[in-house]
Amino acid sequence: MEEIENNEFTNESVAESRRSLESELQGLEAESLAESLPEGFNVDEKDYPKKKSFNLTYNKVKDRIPIFLCIAHGAIWGLLARKGLEALTTYNDSFISGVIWANFAACLIMGIAVDSNHLWEILLESSDYSHKGEIPLYTGITTGFCGTFSSFSSVMLEIFYKSADTMPGKYYHYPNAAYGIMEFLATVLAHFGLSIMGFHMGRHLIEIFDNYIPLLKKKTYKRLEILTSVIGLALFVIVVILIGVKNNGSWRSWTFGCFFAPFGALIRYYLSRYLNSKVKNFPIGTFSANLSGTLFLSIFTLLSRGKSPNNLQSQIVTNILGCHVLSGLDDGFCGALTTVSTFVVELFGLKTSHSYRYGSYSVISSYVVVVLILGVFNWTVGLTDSVCSL
């Protein structure tokens, strides 16, 4: 009996020690991820002690301009990468749309970026930057490119399509409405499960290759920052010119997307940067960006796919140009305003209970928004295919 009691005591001690070590590791993980995100997020100091605080604002205009331009540059390429990958991976009778691979790739790159250290070592040793999140080029990669490459609102729209059986041009005719619940769960698990896996893979890859990446010298970095800023500005000007001089072609949805993407990414950046610090253990800025982006996407989708109340044989928007603008707002503005890559990083940085709460609230509230806007209209008036897709 005495031996059994000793074994039980030993097992309890081991379990307590394990939990204590896990709590300490979670604290270090939270600190590392919070400083790796340009937007940052606030965690409970009792659970995740912070060794140092960092300022969430830039005081000089000259410091803001490179960040604006790097985010804009990254957002344009992120939009093109997402639309291109969706076009390559979406095919007839596929269960999940190609956005799942865009989110996976974005989270993979985000995992590489947030755990990369050797590349930025010289810059972080200088007094210019206290952590990676303050480096404009790094911000362009994470917030600009990865944030726009992934899209939370597109995932929520697809979840609604699957659960309500309203996929454009495709109807499954479930035996009864309850099957929509399984479709909801299957789509949620597929999208976010693969995105989390991508983030894990990215962190594992950089752990292997980080020391083989050459150091980025200050002079080289400054040249890259200037080059990135100039190219970002030039790309935006080119997009504006193309929109003005080329007034036809199905590719116009791409140019409109490139035009709106920088605005969505910048709004997300500032929402997250100034609101994430307000509430502990709940990144309210990213939550607001994802929720509002899903709201806008629901409205734009209603306008492009909704049947006219006065003529059920026609769409609300019947003009091709108007349809392309709405498509650009869908993919560009809403796609850039919402993000899965940053969302996944925040899930990893929060304590387990807070992580599940944040993730559940984000998914459920966004889904409710889509149902209230798009679902109610679909069940009262109806949805059809947009003019662009015909």
Stretch 134-149: mean pLDDT: 95
For residues 316 and 305, give the distance between their C-alpha atoms in angstroms, rounded to a whole number.
7
Cα–Cα distance, 158 to 163 (Å, whole number): 8
Q: Mean pLDDT: which of 111-115, 304-308, 349-353 is highest?
A: 111-115
Top pLDDT among 157 and 62 is at 157
Q: Per the structure block, which two tokens stand in for 322?
A: 């108007």
C-alpha closest to that of 118 among 217, 219, 211, 218: 211
* Cβ-based burial of 56 (10 A; exposed 0-12, middle 13-18, buried ≥19): middle
Residue 171 is predicted with a pLDDT of: 66
* Span of 35-49, 127-141, 363-377 with lowest mean pLDDT: 35-49
pLDDT at res. 10: 59
19-33 CB burial, b ≥16 within 10 A, e <16: eeeeeeebbebbbbb
Q: How many CB atoms lie within 10 A of CB 109?
A: 23
Enumerate the β-bridge partners of residue 308: 311
pLDDT at 2 over 60: no
**What pLDDT was estimated at residue 110?**
97
* Residues ≥6 apart with Cβ < 8 Å to 125: none
Across the range 176-188, mean pLDDT stands at 89
| pLDDT beyond 90 at 361 | yes
11-15, 53-57, 371-375: the lowest-pLDDT one: 53-57
Give the residue-averaged pLDDT of 229-257. Answer: 90
Tell me the percentage of the chain whose pLDDT exceeds 70.
85
Rounded to two decimals, the pTM is 0.89
